[in-house]
Structure 1
Amino acid sequence: MAKYSVPPEQHESELSLVQLRGDSARMVPHWVAPAQAAPAPVSPALIHGVVVPPASARLIDATPEYGA
């Protein structure tokens, strides 16, 4: 079991937040992720086998942002 040197007058939640922010700031340079290329678009002719239930199609059709 790990022991932490925590002054008794500090609340655990306050200390934990301060420690988390400090640890995160120190780790930022180590979290470099390689850039990923955007997936290539797929031709609609290659999309097959998708089944949309009628209730779902009506719901989307009735939504102003998506429906016509």
Structure 2
Amino acid sequence: MTHHERPAPAPADDEGGLESLRGDCARMAPHWAVPERTPALPASPALPHGVSVPPSSARLLDALSEYGD
């Protein structure tokens, strides 16, 4: 940004603030259908195969344990 440019002003709060927003959300919530939740099936340990990790990433991950101990 040069010395002639100024950041854009923050938008005006024409709607009444956070409490108004919360009220709007509460009024809209009944209109949104929530899909029925289905439990996720566990993945087989045999599925993630063929993954290769570059040596630099392997060294980085190996060194992370030093910070957690």
> TM-score, normalization: structure 1?
0.50
Identity percentage of aligned residues: 55
Any stretches of 5+ residues in structure 1 without a counterpart? 1-11
Cα RMSD (Å): 2.9
The residue number in structure 2 matching 1:15 is 15
Question: C-alpha distance in 1, partners of 2:40/2:24?
Answer: 34
The structural deviation recorded for 1:22 is 2.1
Worse-matched range after superposition: 30-39 or 41-50? 30-39
User: Structure 1 residues 46, 21: CA separation in 2 closer, same or farther (over 3 Å shift)?
Assistant: closer
**Gaps in structure 2 of 5+ consecutive residues:** 1-11
Instruction: Note closer, same or farther for the CA distance 1:37–1:23 as it changes in structure 2 (3 Å cut).
Output: same
- Please list the CA deviations of residues 13-45 of structure 1 after superposition, one character each: whole Å capped at 9, or x if unmatched: 152535432211111222342243343222222
Aligned to 1:36: 37
| Structure-2 separation of matches of 1:61 and 1:38 | 34
Q: How far apart in 1 are the matches of 2:46 and 2:58? A: 20
Structure 1 runs of 4+ aligned residues shifted over 3 Å read none
Aligned length: 55
Q: 2:65 maps to what in 1? A: 64
